């Protein structure tokens, strides 16, 4: 890491937990490579402490910060402005600060769509199934719709978040040309119908990581079919149960590592106005 001076601008990642994140290495290496007097740190901040943390960062003149779970939605009322994408998504993962004005952005969807295009998946005019309706799922759904996906099948459990999922589907249908619908993950026949038409299945739930490491959001692996690409936004572990089962079914698979890279690259551009040195970061952390 470059020397920290009295002029060094501070930013970082807010969420809980954050100790596992590789974002500090990505951004600090990029700052050093470009000779920028900036540093990126991790702050374990739960929603109850988020207002104080955000105001503290504003007060010290931060260049900005990232947010991860569980803070992506809790930060909304603490900001001064939202980008169009963040407003549609209803969640923020990147905040820029200029003259004390905090603007919320969402780079998750941009990062995800760039990662699948780089992997050779073109969703324009095609159908996809997306499992989950949290902050990352909403970002992916909105960006996929904006980028020309013909039909998006959102799949969730009938739980407290079902109403939120219905609202997301309505928003996509109202503001984009994509045709969105909602399917109960527990309804095997309905899931089979939407998966048979989908070229991409994406897991944006927490199933497969942490205490849910041995779980899969898709309870019936027989619904997977050859020719489909199966994507998981989880990158730790790099191969979740869903991805293992998808490989066994003859599907192409990809984890969330490159979504992390490209959403980070977009955040870096927002903060600095410069391109992240992606070849360097890819070689060090994603090869």
Q: In what order do the strands lie in the sheet with 151-156?
A: 179-184, 151-156, 127-131, 200-203, 229-232, 252-254
CB 25 within 8 A of CB 285: yes
C-alpha to C-alpha distance for 124 and 104, rounded to whole angstroms = 27
SS3 262: helix
Q: Among the options 72, 114, 126, 244, which is catalytic?
A: 72
| C-alpha to C-alpha distances, 71 to 4, 42, 108, 142, nearest whole angstrom | 28, 13, 14, 19
**Calpha distance 24→45 (Å, rounded):** 16
The count of C-alpha atoms lying within 13 angstroms of the C-alpha of 128, restricted to the half-sphere facing its C-beta, is: 30
DSSP E strands: which ranges in the chain?
9-15, 38-44, 64-67, 81-82, 94-98, 101-105, 127-131, 151-156, 179-184, 200-203, 229-232, 252-254
DSSP 8-state code for residue 277: -
Q: How many residues does the chain have?
A: 287
Nearest Cα residue to 150 out of 173, 132, 184: 173
72 included as an active-site residue: yes
Residues involved in catalysis:
72
């Amino acid at each position: 890491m470059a020397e920290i001076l009295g002029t060094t601008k501070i930013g970082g990642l807010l969420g809980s937990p954050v100790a596992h994140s590789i974002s500090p290495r990505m951004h600090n290496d990029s700052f050093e490579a470009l000779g920028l007097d900036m540093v990126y740190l991790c702050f374990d901040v739960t929603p109850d402490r988020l207002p104080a943390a955000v105001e503290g960062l504003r007060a010290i003149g931060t260049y900005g910060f990232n947010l991860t779970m569980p803070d992506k939605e809790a930060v909304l009322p603490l900001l001064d402005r939202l980008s169009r994408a963040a407003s549609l998504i209803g969640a923020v993962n990147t905040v820029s600060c200029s003259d004390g004005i905090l603007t919320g952005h969402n780079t998750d969807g941009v990062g995800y769509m760039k990662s699948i295009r780089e992997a050779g998946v073109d969703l324009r005019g095609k159908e996809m199934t997306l499992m989950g309706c949290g902050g990352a799922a909403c970002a992916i759904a909105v960006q996929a719709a904006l980028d020309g996906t013909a039909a998006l099948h959102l799949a969730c459990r009938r739980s407290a978040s079902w109403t939120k999922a219905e609202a997301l589907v309505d928003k996509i249908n109202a503001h984009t040309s994509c045709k969105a619908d909602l399917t109960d993950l527990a309804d095997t026949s309905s899931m089979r119908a939407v998966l048979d038409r989908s070229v991409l299945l994406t897991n944006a739930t927490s199933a497969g990581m942490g205490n849910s490491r041995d779980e899969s959001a898709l309870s019936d692996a027989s619904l997977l079919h050859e020719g489909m690409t199966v994507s998981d936004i989880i990158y730790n572990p790099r191969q979740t149960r869903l991805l293992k089962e998808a490989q066994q079914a003859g599907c192409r698979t990809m984890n969330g590592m490159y979504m992390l890279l490209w959403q980070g690259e977009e955040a870096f551009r927002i903060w600095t106005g410069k391109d992240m040195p992606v070849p360097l970061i890819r070689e060090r952390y994603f090869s």
